[in-house]
Amino acid sequence: MLANLFKIFKENNYATIGVSIYLIFIIVAIFADFIAPNDPLRIHFSGSGLARNLAPSFDFYLGTTSNGRDIFSQLIHGSRNALAVGLSAALAVAILGTIVGLVSGYYGGWVDNVIMRLADIALGLPFLPFVIVLAAFLGPNSWNVVIAIALLLWPNAGRIIRSQVLTLRERGYIESAKVSGCSNFRIIFVHIAPNILPLSFLYGSIAIGWAILTEASVSFLGFGPSDVISWGYMLQDAYSSQALSLKAYIWFLPPGFCIVLMVVAGFFISRGYEEILFPKMRN
């Protein structure tokens, strides 16, 4: 299974580009303390006072904000929060959606009905307002975005995985496992689960883009933590300081470009997973 994944990633240009983008951001996030020349929250001063709205220079590669903070350092450290939220949300959606889909599809009956009705409720909730309300109750925290995405996006993965399990449970090898005395737990997680892992990976990769966009939106609206630098926080700071009217494009274009790049990378990876699920697409 893993060999096929690596083979397709190697042969598929979309998947290769997507993985390469994430690897670059992961390296940047790991070595952010060494790459960023300054503390992203530090307020700098010049000879004439606050070092505000400075143009790019050797001291500040992308200039400074209206509060005298280094834009380049904020951009580098913002990759950490984006990756933490994106990958955590992807993992949460993949795990929760997989478990729910396996249990619902295998047992059927009232268990399936209850889970599917919960899925209908989750799908009916408005996404961004739900995240904002959750942040209001739990406080401004990036992990609230992960919780919200896990609660609202699991039905998408769970429904598809459930439909696949409904067909797999009727296969001959499942009947043989039951006759041989295998427990339901072993049948679900040993005999069925490996066959639906590509679907889990697919919806997990899609959740990465949703998580990054949602975190940026929440931070831009002012519901994110004020002590954590993120790309959404940078956009909100630029907007409140009227960076566009000041023509400080170097302030808000880089974080916006990074958000787009991360979301596109998630799409490219999901495109590669589609070739695993639908081999005819390779042609």
Q: 32-54 pLDDT, tens per residue? A: 999 999 888 888 887 777 888 88
- Output the CA torsion 192→196→201→207 (10° steps): -100
What confidence tens digit (pLDDT) does each residue in 102-158 have? 999 888 888 889 998 998 888 888 888 888 888 778 777 777 778 888 888 888 888
The radius of gyration computed from the CA coordinates of the chain, to the nearest angstrom, equals 22
| Contacting residues for 195 by C-beta, under 8 A, at least 6 apart | 164, 168
Helix crossing, 127-138 with 142-168: angle to 10°?
Answer: 130
- The pTM of the full predicted model, rounded to 2 decimals, is 0.82
- Average the pLDDT over each of 53-57, 94-98, 273-277 and give the range with the smallest value: 273-277
Domain assignment present for 44 = no
What confidence tens digit (pLDDT) does each residue in 154-195 have? 888 888 888 888 888 888 888 888 888 888 888 888 888 888
What confidence tens digit (pLDDT) does each residue in 251-265 have? 889 999 999 998 888
Domain assignment present for 49 = no
CA distance 191 to 52: 61
Report the alpha-carbon angle 235-33-45, nearest 5: 65
Q: Give the start-end residues of each E strand in 35-116.
A: 45-46, 49-50
Q: Domain range holding 112?
A: 2-27+71-282
Domain assignment present for 246 = yes
| Contacting residues for 187 by C-beta, under 8 A, at least 6 apart | 106, 174, 177, 178
Domain assignment present for 217 = yes
Give the CATH number of the domain where residue 156 resides. 1.10.3720.10
* Residues 69/43, Cβ–Cβ less than 8 Å: yes
Which amino acid is located at 228 in the chain?
A: V
Total structural domains within the chain:
1
The token pair that represents 139 in the structure block: 């406080």
Domain assignment present for 39 = no
Domain assignment present for 52 = no
Q: Which of 279, 272, 207 is nearest to 11 (CA)?
A: 272
Q: Which of 34, 36, 26 is nearest to 72 (CA)?
A: 36
The token pair that represents 215 in the structure block: 């975190």
* Residues 230/81, Cβ–Cβ less than 8 Å: yes
What is the model's pLDDT at position 7? Answer: 59
Domain assignment present for 62 = no
Domain assignment present for 43 = no
